Amino acid sequence: MLATLRHRLHETFVRWALRERPPEPVPIILTQRRVYVLPTRAGVAYAAALGVILLGAMNYNLSLGHGLVFMLAGLGIVTILHTFRNLVLIGLRPGRCEPVFAGGTAQFSLVLDNRRPDARTSLRLSIANLEPVEVDIEARGSKVAILGHPATRRGWLPLPRVTIETTWPLGLVRAWSYAAPALDCLVYPAPAARAPPLPWSGDSARGTTRDGRGADDFSGLRKHQVADAPRHVAWKAVARQHDGPLLTKLFAGASAQQVWLDWHALPEMNDSEQRLSILARWMLDADAAGLAWGLRLPGLQLAQDQGQEHLAAGLRALALYRDGTR
């Protein structure tokens, strides 16, 4: 009950502290009104120790004791100023986030700009109570901070609220602020660990070459891959080797085989996520085998092609698939 109340109070404070409804317009500048300062546990202990020393100096009428207390108190006040200045007037801009597969870790990049002629030291950035990332920024320089976050589901993963804080230089006080820049990471469905073989059928498995020559133009052998058609395995070459690896025959021209990855060709199953995982595995296998492949989803079709851009387009379609649409 107490933990729930504390969480609600904290979220209310964060919404007030952000000043803007997330996501915030960029660049985000940590102005004086957005930076908050409170003593750390070490700072509280430091203040308590000063109180004890002051009581002792007053009780025994020790002038040096009073001088020591006033000197240490002045040091604490100066520390508050330096800790605050170490964080104020920092700019934040969203960087990039490369797509990842579900089950991996999204790497969000944030660009921090130092708008002051002083270096910033020991800044810590964290999201969702995960391990913080510590960075230093040179005077009037910039620094890229990479924040990792688990990607558990396919689709768009928004960057959670970022907490940026510092306790430099003495650790007696903590200055912190919040930021919510607009940055999303595309999460692909996790490829199935076990998937049916690629759907070879009819013309989809027939060898054709882009220069017009047929599959009979033999050009060499390579190591066999799971996605290769069984009829292209060099059985005679394998038979001549004792416990040798499977080899696949290559034919002249560019990619010699084509295949359609069809949603409706999948085995009967009610789990759409499992279907998408199998299609993702098929895409990766077809791309690794150098095949020209096409994708058929309810409401979407990608023409047969190959290459990294085509693979990215197919995985994106799977990541954003929603009830028959992309």
Among 141, 161, 188, where does a domain finish?
Answer: 188
Within this chain, do residues 147 and 60 fall inside the same structural domain, yes or no? Answer: yes
Query: Is 195 part of any domain?
Result: no
Asked if 247 and 224 count as a contact pair (C-beta separation under 8 A), the reply is: yes
Query: Per-residue pLDDT tens for 126-155?
Result: 998 889 999 999 999 999 999 999 999 999
Indicate the residue among 123, 155, 188 that finishes a domain. 188
Q: What is the pLDDT of residue 251?
A: 56
CA angle (9, 87, 127) in 5-degree steps: 50
Is the pLDDT reported for residue 162 higher than 90? yes
Query: What backbone phi and psi angles, to 5 degrees, belong to 314?
Result: -65, -45
Give pLDDT tens digits for 214-229: 444 555 555 666 656 6
Same domain, 248 and 134: no
* Same domain, yes or no: 109 and 210: no
pLDDT at 48: 96
pLDDT mean across residues, the chain = 84
Write the Ramachandran bin of 249: left for phi over 0, alpha for psi from -120 to 50, otherwise beta: beta
**pLDDT value at residue 198:** 79
Q: Which of 51-55, 67-71, 93-97, 285-289 has the lowest mean pLDDT?
A: 285-289
140 dihedral zone (left: phi>0; alpha: psi -120 to 50; beta): left
Instruction: pLDDT band for 236, please (50, 70, 90 cuts).
Output: low
Domain count, the chain: 2
Domain co-membership, 290 together with 241? yes
**Same-domain status, 108 and 257:** no
pLDDT-based confidence at residue 10 (cuts at 50, 70, 90): confident
Identify whether 2 is part of a domain: no
Evaluate if residue 212 carries a pLDDT over 50.
Answer: no
The CATH number of residue 39's host domain is: 2.60.40.10
Same domain membership, residue 161 and residue 308: no
List the beta bridge partners of residue 325: 322
Among the candidates 188, 223, 256, a domain finishes at 188
33 and 182 both lie in a single domain: yes
- Is 245 part of any domain? yes
User: What type of residue is 182?
Assistant: A
**CA-to-CA distance for 35 and 25, rounded, in angstroms?**
18
* 289 falls within a domain: yes
Q: Match 């306790």 to its residue by tokens.
A: 167
239 Cβ contact list (under 8 Å, min separation 6): none
Domain containing 209 equals: 202-319
Residue 194, domain member (yes or no): no
- 206 and 85, same structural domain? no
166 and 55, same domain (yes or no): yes
116 assigned to some structural domain: yes
| 105 and 151 both lie in a single domain | yes
Residues 99 and 236 in one domain: no
pLDDT for position 54: 94
Residue 196 falls inside a structural domain: no
In a domain, 3, yes or no: no
Q: Is the pLDDT of residue 237 over 90?
A: no
Q: Rounded to an integer, what distance in angstroms lies between the CA atom of residue 209 and that of residue 213? A: 6
Mean pLDDT for 69-92 is 95
Residues 49 and 160 in one domain: yes
The pLDDT, as a whole number, for residue 156 is 96
Give per-residue pLDDT as tens, 248-296.
Answer: 765 544 444 678 999 888 877 778 899 999 999 999 988 888 888 999 9
